[in-house]
Every structure is written in structure tokens, then in C-alpha cells.
Amino acid sequence: MSNNGSLMRAEIAQIPSIFQKIADKAATITAQVQKLPLDSFDSVILLARGTSDNAALYLKYLIETKIGIPCGLASPSVVTVYQTKLKFKNCLVIALSQSGQSPDLINYAQAAKIGGAKVLALTNDVNSPLAKSADLHLYLEAGEEKAVAATKSYSAELLLSLLVVSAWAKSEVDFAALVRESNTAVGNIEAISKIVDSFDHSFGITTLGRGFAYANAHETALKIQETLKIPVSSFSSADYLHGPISSLHKNSRVIFLAPTGVASAGMAATVTRIREITPHIYWIGCGFELHSGEISLGGASLPEMLAVIADSIVLQQFAMLLALKNGLNPDAPIGLLKVTKTK
């Protein structure tokens, strides 16, 4: 019997317990974050690659909606290729990385500190170079991640991002509800497996989200690309109407990331237009009433910011099962390494 997917499946199943570990340390983490000169920052730059870059999108929405200051995504090559000297007075750089090993992230973080920034790092390795170069490091609590495609570390990055911004904004996180819904998602894997059995990816897959769920739309596409080894398009549901929808046809498969929340109204026009073109629509989240023939993969009954975190489990399960259905091993996709070191 094949052990394909056993690592990825086990690591997804660990996510609720990782959330609980973060919850148990929430007071300590909050105190650490609040020791930063938070009132002095008038901008934030997020530093990440790959899966962590998608988590950074979620963090960007958190900072801009809850703190109200500009937040951008770093281009590490500005430092590593173009040798730019950064001027980052009153700037907080937040680096997100599973391994904390990539030279471009480390070099950018160091250049940012020289340029006057404070650096906060979220990694899964307390002894990594990125962790040691930061003014404050927060551990993801995920333990060793063996499957090449990141799962539990991504979900941990989402929750730790929420905790960082909640500490900054002096708001609360409902950890108990998140852990409860996450356990439900883990237990729902067989229902997703039945849907995957009839899922035909041969006509192309597009993933769409908006607001806080935009991060999960990108992560769904990335997970499918990594494990099933096919190209997948991902867009903001708003951007999709500005041209890419032209490629959609009646056999296209569309996956909406749509938790209940304010972004649902912002997605409505795109949903209506796509329904006119293809009936093959799948949902992760509870933000829309499904039309006949549309399929729900699951979704947490939580406020939008929390639902996105719990729903990350669903997208990971879907990608893993889709790869297994097609005879691939999602634990170790050919051509990928667990730690990617870019310069």
C-alpha cells in the first residue's frame, strides 16, 4: 500500500493543535509585540517568498484595515540584485518564512535594519539566520514540517499574523472558536475526497477571492500547482473582470474562496458573471448561497478574519487529495525542495 500523501495529511491534521499552542502563548506573544515602538511606525513592509508571500497578503489586509497605515510587499531583489540602500525610518519590516534560510530575505532584513527599520520575523526555526537577524522573532509553533508543500506552517503564519495585529490594535482573538472549527475541517476530509473523485482539472482551474480571502485564493492555486503539477490561475475577483475572464469557457473549473464577510458584496458581480459562463463552480467558505449544481468543499462558520485561517485546512486537503487521485505524491513533488534559497 502506498504511503503517498501520508506526511502532508498528518501535518494538516496537526493544525488545530498548533493553533492551540499559539493560543496558549498568546499573552506572552502579545506582550512581546507591544514592546515594539508601535506608535512610531507609519508604514510596514512585508518580506516573504512562496507560500509565506500568500500569508503576507492576509497580513497586509489586517494591517491596512485594523491599523490604517500603508503596507507593502517587499521586492528583495531591490537589495540583492540592485544593491539599494534602504531609507526605512519609522518603518516596521515583518518577515515571514517557514525556514528562515533564504539569503535574499536575510539580506533584505539586514539592509532594512541598517536603513532604520525595526524587523519582526515569523519563522518555524528559532535558530535560523532570519530569526537571529530580527529585532523580535516569533516562533510559528509548527514543529518540523517534512512534506515539501507547506501546510501547517502557512496556517500558523495566518494565525500568528492575526495575533500580531490584534496585539497592535489591542483587540481579542477567539482562539476557542478557531480551534473548534479547525478540528471540524480536519474531520471533514472524507467529504472532500468524494468531491475530488469527480473533479476534472483538464479544462483548467481558476481560483478567486477578495479581501482577507485573497491570500487563500493564491495559496489554493499554489498548492495545486505544487502537488498536481499543472498551471493554475489565481486572481482577485475584482481584477478578474478586468480582462482575465475572457479566457473562461463553459468547461472551466472555478474555485471561489468566499468566507462570510464584507468582501462577499464585493465579489457578487464577478460571481454573477461567471455563473453565466460556466456551471462548474466550487466554494470554500460560507459567504454565498450556492446555485444548483455548485459544490461546497466546506468552510468555517466564523467571522471573516478567523474563517480564512480555518479554511486554509480545506484548501490544503483539496490539493493533496487531487494529487493523490491523479497518481502523484504530494509529499515530495518532483523538482521541488523543502527549503528554497534564492539570492
Is 1 within the bounds of a domain? no
Helix (H) or strand (E) holding 54: helix 51-66
Q: Does 112 lie in the same domain as 76?
A: yes
> Which of 172, 192, 213 is a domain's end point?
172
Host domain of residue 292: 177-325
| Phi-psi category of residue 141: left, alpha or beta, with phi > 0 → left and psi -120 to 50 → alpha | left
Q: Are residues 241 and 151 in the same domain?
A: no
Nearest to 21 by CA among 149, 137, 143, 148: 143
Pair 156, 283 in one domain: no
Q: Please give the pLDDT value at position 343.
A: 67
Same domain, 141 and 240: no
Q: Is residue 26 part of a domain?
A: yes
Looking at the fold, whether 236 and 134 belong to one and the same domain comes out as no
Q: What is the DSSP string of 21-49?
A: HHHHTHHHHHHHHHTS-GGG-SEEEEE--
**Residue 64 falls inside a structural domain:** yes
**Phi then psi for 75, rounded to 5 degrees?**
-110, 95
Does one domain contain both 163 and 273?
Answer: no
Q: Is the sign of the CA dihedral 104, 110, 116, 119 positive or negative?
A: positive
How far apart, in Å, are the Cα atoms of 171 and each of 30, 125, 158, 166, 181? 10, 27, 16, 5, 21
pLDDT-derived band at 258 (thresholds 50, 70, 90) equals very high
Asked whether residue 49 is assigned to any structural domain, the reply reads yes
In a domain, 331, yes or no: no
In this structure, the answer to whether residues 162 and 217 fall within a common structural domain is no
On whether both 122 and 195 belong to a single domain, the answer is: no
Residue-wise pLDDT for 108-157, tens only, equals 999 999 999 999 999 999 999 999 999 999 999 999 999 989 999 999 99
Instruction: Please give the angle made by the CA atoms of 261, 273 and 308, to the nearest 5 degrees.
Output: 25
Q: Is 205 helix (H, G, I), strand (E, B) or coil?
A: strand
Task: Answer yes or no: do 226 and 260 share one domain.
Answer: yes
| Cβ-based neighbours of 214, under 8 Å, separated by 6 or more | 57, 58, 61, 236, 257
Question: Taking residues 169-188, what's their average pLDDT?
Answer: 98
Q: What was the pLDDT predicted at 1?
A: 42
Beta strand spans in 227-290 (E): 233-236, 253-257, 281-284
SS3 content of the chain, % helix, strand, coil (to 5): 50, 15, 35
Q: What is the pLDDT of residue 332?
A: 84
**Number of domains the chain is built from:** 2
Is pLDDT above 90 for 342? Answer: no
205 beta partners: 253
Q: What is the mean pLDDT of the chain?
A: 95
Are 196 and 60 members of one domain? no
Say how far apart CA 148 and CA 105 lie, in whole Å.
19
Distance CA 212, CA 61 (A): 6
Domain for residue 341, yes or no? no
Amino acid at 90: N
CA–CA dist 120, 134 (Å, integer): 6
Residue 341 has pLDDT above 90, yes or no: no
Question: For residue 337, is it within any domain?
Answer: no
Whether residue 194 is found in the same domain as residue 287: yes
Give the pLDDT confidence of 2-18 residue by residue, as tens digits: 689 999 999 999 999 99
- Which of 137, 172, 207 is where one domain is finished? 172
Residues 18 and 165 in one domain: yes
Decide which of 119, 142, 172 is a domain's last residue: 172
Q: Residue 24 domain-assigned? A: yes
pLDDT band, very low/low/confident/very high, at 314 (cuts 50, 70, 90)? very high
Length of the chain (residues): 343
pLDDT of residue 128: 96
Which CATH number belongs to the domain containing residue 149 in this structure? 3.40.50.10490
Do 282 and 294 form a contact (C-beta atoms < 8 A)? Answer: yes
d(CA 267, CA 129): 41
